[in-house]
Amino acid sequence: QVKKQCDQKLLIRVKTKCVPCSLNLDTQCPAGYTKITNGTGTPDCRYYLEIKTYTLSFPGCRHRCVKEFEQPECCQGYWGPDCMGK
């Protein structure tokens, strides 16, 4: 049996919205994603608060999330939806 399909594994990374670190403990990743940061997350962002005519900027935290995704692909020398070929 010759292998015609060589699916590629892709890792999709996303970050959650930047919020005050104290509020970030319970932040969830989008459905299907796995959280790879712990506790309050990574303090690498800023969030903004609008007060009347002013916009204030504060340091905040966010979580990193990953999702593994298999992209169907034909092995070299094969093509098409059914990986026909050679």
- Local confidence pLDDT in tens for the 86 residues of the chain: 678 899 999 999 999 999 999 999 999 999 999 999 999 999 999 999 999 999 999 999 999 999 999 999 999 889 988 888 76
Burial class for 66, CB neighbours closer than 10 Å (0-12, 13-18, 19+): middle
**CA distance to 9, 47, 70, 71, 86, per residue, from 2 (Å):** 20, 54, 20, 20, 11
Q: Which amino acid is at 14?
A: V
**H or E segment at 26?**
none
d(CA 25, CA 38): 8
| pTM of structure | 0.73
Q: Which amino acid is at 13?
A: R
Q: What is the pLDDT of residue 10?
A: 94
